[in-house]
Structure 1
Amino acid sequence: MWSPRWRYWRPNPRLHRNPNPTPSRTPRILPTLHRPDLPPHKMGATTQTGLPPCFAIAKNSNRTLKMLRTRVISSLVAIPIVFVAVFVGGIWFALGAMAFGLIAGWEFTQMMKTGGYHPAPLVTLVLVVLLVIDSYYTSVRLTALVISVAVLGSLVWQLFQHSSRPTADWALAIAGGFYIGWGMAHLVALRELADGLYWIGLALLCTWAADSFAYFTGRAIGKNKLWPRHSPKKTWEGLFGGIAGSIVVAILLALISPLNLLTAIIVGAVIPVAGLFGDLSISLMKRDVGVKDSSNLFPGHGGFLDRVDSLLFVSVVVYYFAVWIG
């Protein structure tokens, strides 16, 4: 049976809108997210990500997982190479330390250029090479000669450079060479000791253990800032976690090596503190020139100098512990 069309007619909501609608209690979130005319804090967003808190937390979690995965992959590639060089020792370890020192020295000079300085890379790299050679060939002590050539030769070199701040550039070239070369030289000297394999293993393993335990402990329970001026992310909880992890590794290594247990525990407790000052020293320099990493050589880890900053302090401390106490 035929029915009139008006029976199927429905009012158009756009044309027949209620002139006095009842305000909804549900906030209009989605339309607000796509309004570029409003600042982030007006849209209920965080100031760091520009997203609402729920989305910001998810984004930060994904970024953290991606960074952690990249750090693990980089470590799996680098650690076997380092352990082979440490186990072989001799000239190969010295050459490896020299190569690492050259990379770190180059990164140092390029990092300083970001801050407006222009230290001569050649001066820094030559000084690194001379210091490592001096530490390996212990029968011929060249330390005084190395210092003389570095200081006086670099001054002569600076005379031929067109620099607006020659004194600062000269001082940075010398300081970078000594800072990196001195640490690498003590690393080589540590390996050349009678029980050098165990001492170098103690230095490397405890440094990496302290770094890892401090990282995860700080992320899990870190609340009290350690030194906000130089490293806002470091906490006291992370430091104590790093010390605990380093001591555990030192005890395990002492049980399978000729190292004295008490000495290993003491060194295991000192290494995280020395590594912390090495890390903070590089952070001080990076903050001065306005960079986050020394380079992008290792994904997730920054540059090579970022990876060896702790060892530059640890190698010196462990070497003199081994010579005077061990």
Structure 2
Amino acid sequence: MRRENQSSVSQFLLLGLPIRPEQRGVVFALFLGMYLTTVLGNLLIILLFRLDCRLHTPMYFFLGHLAFADISLSSITVPKMLVNMLTQEKSIPYVGCISQIYFFILFACLDNFLLAVMAYDRYVAVCQPLHYTTIMREGLCTLLVAGSWFFSCVHALLHTLLLSSLSFCADNTIPHFFCDLTALLKLTCSDTSFNELVLFIEGGMIAFLPMSAILGCYICIGATILMVPSIKRICKALSTCGSHLFVVFLYYGTLVMNYFFPSSNNSKVKDIIASVMYTVVTPMLNPFIYSLRNRDMKLALGIIHRKRITFAK
């Protein structure tokens, strides 16, 4: 197989969101507000975890890393989109595009693994509550998060290196608001059969295995609850797993609709809408989902607020 590591394209053009010129100001304000909410909300989760020792538990340890991944995922795509929308400068350098793809794949994959790790944590909490502290010890939690980071980095590096070996000759227009891997594979003038094979096999496994682990954990949780059904146990399980389960449905729902139910007519618009859901909307909603439905988070926020008022006096 001949490797081509030179490209005649020095930059790409991002078409951005399919909006009319008169709507640009409103859409810009909307996405700027959503991005700031995402950053501030997830930073608040990380801050609460650091300041309140009662939150130093496996669930909030994983949630802190998920919050960081969400901030990073949004920061990779949204600021560039906002700048392009404001200045009408749609170009992005070749190196910048490849870098954006690497970090996007990295943090999207990290989200995927962390959701699976959090599902396992909820499984242990519901199905083996007496052994929770011995199973979810600090060493195992660190290993699970480190493994998530490692495999995400390897996954992103693999596909970025394969992409950088391709050549781009003429068409440099990307019908998206960020550099998407599948969009660039359609623009290359090189043979992409090997890239597509790796993406199908390795990328499919990266997506399928965590999703299967999440599904298996919640099947076990449901079976455990139904063994001795009671309103109290069901309510406790919902309070323990409800927030995470909602985020899982929101995150994977958009991916399934995008990749498993393709549209033949306006597929590009549908792809952009799905991308907005899991790069902008889901990271923004995570702080509200986990904070408003979680008693410990609300209690920690109240304590810090009272301390700030006392300190101000």
Q: Report which of the two structures shows the higher radius of gyration computed on alpha carbons.
A: 1
> When the two structures are superposed, what TM-score results if normalisation uses the length of structure 1?
0.25
Give 1 or 2: higher helix fraction.
2
